[in-house]
Chain A
């Protein structure tokens, strides 16, 4: 019986561990659409070419398996970027690039349009497995809720 109990406990712990580490496959385009469909953004965001998006983020365009970039008209700091990388290590690299993007934008908007700086301070950055998501939104709570729905 002791061996049986231990066996079942191992199974339970193994399953619980597995449940916590790898999310199901995420369609980052659907994620972006979902965030956009809500009330998170005040500016009109438009999709941009992945090559340009990776350039602005300082990311090697060959690294992401897939990426989505939505930028504002330039009037605000609002934007959305989602990456599906090929490895967790690459995702960590991109998260660093994303945070550097936020810092650079913050410095830029501090002179250009200081009213936008709080949005950058509340930027939503999520990394899980091979996925990295950034939202700079007027309503960061709404953005975070929409993003979290894909990572549950």
Chain B
């Protein structure tokens, strides 16, 4: 018996058997070499199905507990309201004497508004620029909602304030904010107003206007005022903040479209008057993003309208240092 079996039975392989085996050995050696050098990997045993990962709730950001407030300290009031080193954001209003019996504040000048809002500590008129103050930490925004358009979407992505709720989508304007279902929810997409109604917020920041640039300013403000009324109906205890429109680049401003500096500044002035009329706050974020000539830098945007990410961080810094500092209404009673 031949060591290779019955030669007669395998006669069709005679002469080819040894070279074929040698070829197989060479191939195997080659692939084994590749495997050892990590160029390939052997199949792994099928992975056991993982149980559904427990949905980890986002860590709750607890608002700081309300502090026991000391007696009125007028010297701190002067410290708070002195113009800050960075006057770029601050247009400091004149101060008159205040009713100090109504004023309470703590050393670190941070407040938690357990009932939503209180009275301003300084003479402050709705629609006026909010003075610059010490930066709050982002826990301040944990009871806030930011609503608006694509630029508010950008703020959600790049502003760095992760403690707030965001209800924003491209194309949103003062009219379709109540009708377009753009916010995902467990029961399907809902409108921004429906999302706002789902949870109590102490502060609501609104950025709208760039998609409405073809409206007349009057019509825009009428719609905006109606929106404010609707928000108040949903969130009666919330402080409402109108955010100014943001700047565009010089090239965009001069391309003949309605997205120009003059129109935007006119809209912002109308929003300031609206804030005064409807008794809501107005925050000028335009200045936090514009250069000395009032434009978004040319290298600051792809299309001249949507800022690149670093400008959203400047906007966030502006919000952190322009908070409406009020006394907790409970303290007065």
Contact residues of A with B, CB < 8 Å? Answer: 1-2, 4-5, 8-9, 11-12, 14-19, 21-22, 24, 42-44, 46, 48-49, 51-52, 58, 60-63, 71-76, 86-90, 108-109, 111-112
Contacts and interface: CB of A to CB of B under 8 A. Distances in A.
B169 interface: yes
A52 B17 CA distance: 63
Contacts, number: 116
A75 B303 contact: yes
16 contacts: A1-B4, A15-B31, A18-B41, A19-B41, A22-B43, A58-B184, A61-B56, A72-B302, A73-B301, A73-B302, A73-B308, A74-B151, A74-B153, A75-B301, A86-B50, A88-B47
Contact of A62 (B10, B28, B32, B53): B53
Contact of B21 (A5, A15, A60): A5
Interface string B207-248: 000000000000000000000000000000000000000000
B154 A74 contact: yes
Interface of B: 4-5, 10, 13, 17, 20-21, 24-25, 27-28, 31-32, 35, 38, 40-44, 47, 49-50, 53-56, 58, 150-151, 153-154, 156-158, 162, 169-171, 182, 184, 301-303, 305-309
Contacts of B162: 49, 51-52
Given A49-B162, A73-B154, 6 more contacts: A24-B41, A52-B162, A60-B55, A62-B55, A73-B303, A74-B154
B138 to A, nearest CB: 13
A12 B28 contact: yes
A24 B184 contact: no
A44 B28 contact: no
Contacts of B55: 60, 62
A63 B306 CA distance: 32
Nearest to A19: B40
Of all A-B residue pairs in the complex, the 10 with the closest CB atoms, nearest first, are A8-B24, A75-B303, A46-B309, A18-B42, A74-B306, A19-B40, A18-B43, A73-B306, A75-B302, A75-B306
Contacts of A76: 302-303
Given A43-B302, A46-B309, A24 B38 contact: yes
Contact of A74 (B4, B27, B150, B182): B150
A61 B53 CA distance: 10
A8 to B, nearest CB: 4
A88 B158 CA distance: 31
B50 A90 contact: yes
A8 B25 contact: yes
Contacts of B58: 51, 61
A58 B35 CA distance: 38
A112 B27 CA distance: 57
Contact of A111 (B21, B53, B171, B302): B171
A26 to B, nearest CB: 13
